[in-house]
Structure 1
Amino acid sequence: MDHEPDAVSLFAAQTRPLCDLSDSSFPAVLYGWKDEGLTLQSDATHYGFVQRGRAVLKLGGHDFQLTPGMYFSAAGECRLEGSGSGFVASRIGYRGLFQLGGPIEATGRLRYIDGCSDTLLISPAVKGDPCLNLLHIPPHTRQTAHTHPTVRFGIIVGGQGVCRSPNQDLALQPGDIFSIRPEGIHSFNTTHDSLLVIAWHPDSDCGPTHGDHPMINRTVIDGVSAAQRQRNQDASCTPAESRS
């Protein structure tokens, strides 16, 4: 009888690739880094988080100083240096926006399951793009077992907890780096401490589109938003016109 692969894999911070999914539907590589330089490839956008210490992100001839709790996305070849540790999720074949943020907050701003909360730290530039999230799990939480349609990469930022899956219970400590395979059943659980998690998604099912974003929605022409005018025009087109 075949053994079902573990839903969750846990890694200690070290400077190397930890999970290589470059041949998957959403090509990605999970890296750890700790107290030494990490060079990141040119054909990807890199999403990173500083767990401990200080780091320097070298990109395009510029040095960006990073402190604990800061996060970034950077497209193309870049390098992390310094006496710190954290993780990087690289989305191969995708060119995202350069962003720096942080420090993170103690809880999320959006409701999530079972009393948990979430903040979208780096949003999809366009619907379907990758995103970076902050997940807060309060004390005494028994999260409902669930799955995700695509891989999740991340790091434990603070607190204590357990990640449960059908094959194992994994104790979670700050600095632990993880991957959750697509459709892997899992749940995050806490006792007396809360748990703070950074989670990266290689894709998204929400976000701006060409016909639905703040600029076009809030542009009003003769009392009608430009987005609605475009929808009206699209609806009035014949099939032949819509293909032209």
Structure 2
Amino acid sequence: MFMSRPQFASLDQAALTSLDASPFSPTYTFQGRSFHLHCWRETIELSPNATHFTFLYAGEAELVTERDYHFPLWPGMVCSQPDRGLIRSRTGEPALGITISMENYRGFFQLGGPIEKAGRLRYVDGCSDSLLFSPIIKGDPCLNLLLIPPHTEQTEHTHPSFRLGMIVEGSGICRTPEGNSPLLPGTVFALPAESRHAFWTEDEPLLIIAFHPDSDFGPTHENHPMINRTIINGVSASILRQMENHHPPASHASPVENSQ
């Protein structure tokens, strides 16, 4: 289902049905890849040929990889699993979470959290954010934490790509041209690219998980810590590479580099 306007749902209600029949299971296509937002209860099977970004909202769970490695997950934790796997309750009690699957992309295996109560970076209108999973290479997806403090009226804004995520704590509203939508713990959202919106709060802050399918930030083959801090005859190897790119050798031979 392709979304043309902002959508909001309760995670608890959206996860009551099977993934295929869920009333809230947005699908997006961006730069030739498909993205799926799954709301799940107790278990979710992770498909091959995709990387799966998960936030565990409630309950205790475990991530089981294709090689049968088991990693415990507690509320507030995030994980990234490339390729096939399984997330399931560890206790027999309900576990609730969201998983965003990006097809035909191989990310890193990562575990993180529990998330903090505020971001490490300054954002607009007094808000703060943190990169939970950074882009591996500039342009790759990223998973973020966002804090909207109490008594905040965000400036209306847009994003060049869609946003998927959920409200972890607090309360507020999302103001859009179509109207106001309440934001409560467990609210899952999908914001299409270029959709105008603003998050407003009163007495409580909002703590939000937000997935971005792309980035304009991150390392490149020409600019990353390993090459930048490699010094050859007093010159950074990154500068030497740039010089080589501007003045290729007469043989026209060039190094073969892996690309994402």
Pick the TM interval, shorter chain: over 0.9
Q: Check conservation: 1:139, 1:190, Cα contact below 8 A.
A: yes
Aligned match of 2:82 in 72, 75, 80? 75
1:38-94 deviations in Å (ceiling 9; x for gaps): 112111100010111111111121111100110010011111111211111111110
Runs of 4+ in 1 over 3 A off after TM superposition: 22-26, 237-244
TM-score, structure 1 as length reference = 0.92
1:219 equivalent to 2:230? Answer yes
CA distance in 2, matches of 1:45, 1:193: 34
How many correspondences in the alignment?
239
Q: Give how far 1:239 is off.
A: 11
SS in 2 for 1:140: coil
Alignment partner for residue 20 of structure 1, among 23, 27, 30?
27
Could you list the runs of 5+ residues in structure 1 that have no partner in the other structure? none
Gaps of 5+ in 2: 256-260
Query: Cα RMSD (Å) of the superposition?
Result: 2.0
Residue deviations 1:173-221, cap 9 Å, x none?
1111111011111111101111000000111111011010000001111
Alignment of 1:41-52 (within 5 A): 41-52=47-58
The residue aligned with 1:167 is: 178
* TM-score, structure 2 as length reference: 0.87
Output the CA distance in 1 between the equivalents of 2:124 and 2:107.
29
What secondary structure is seen at the aligned counterpart in 2 of 1:210?
Answer: coil
Tell me the equivalent position of 1:178: 189
Shift of 1:98: 0.2
Q: Is the 8 A contact 1:6 1:167 kept in 2?
A: no
Deviation at 1:26, TM superposition (A): 3.7
| Alignment partner, residue 196 of structure 1 | 207
For the pair 1:113 / 2:115, whether they are aligned, the reply is: no
CA 1:7–1:116 in structure 2 vs 1: closer, same or farther (change >3 Å)? Answer: farther
SS at match of 1:205: coil
Mark the CA change 1:239 to 1:111 in structure 2 (over 3 Å): closer, same or farther: farther
What's the CA shift for 1:237?
3.2
Q: Alignment partner of 1:97: what SS? A: coil
CA contact under 8 A between 1:7 and 1:186: conserved in structure 2? no
Q: Does 1:100 align with 2:107?
A: no
The sequence identity of aligned pairs, in percent, is 44
After superposing the two structures, state which structure 1 stretch, 143-152 or 6-15, moved more. Answer: 6-15
Contact 2:60 2:73 in 1 (8 A): yes
SS of residue matched to 2:26: strand
Report SS of the residue matched to 1:118.
strand
The aligned amino acid for 1:20 is T
Query: Tell me, what secondary structure is at the counterpart of 1:27?
Result: strand
Paired with 2:33 and 2:176, the residues of 1 have a C-alpha distance of 23
> Does residue 231 of structure 1 match 2:229?
no
Q: Secondary structure at the match of 1:65?
A: strand
Does the 8 Å CA contact 2:61/2:87 hold for their aligned counterparts?
Answer: yes
**Cα drift, residue 110 of structure 1:** 0.7
Look up the equivalent residue of 2:103 and give its one-letter code.
Answer: I
Residues 117-128 of structure 1: pairs in structure 2 closer than 5 A: 117-128=128-139
The corresponding residue for 2:258 is none
Any conservation in 1 of the 2:30–2:213 contact (CA below 8 Å)? no
Q: Hey, what's the Cα distance between the residues in 2 that align with 1:96 and 1:67? A: 22
Answer whether contact 1:52 1:85 (CA < 8 A) is retained: yes
Matched, 1:90 2:101: yes
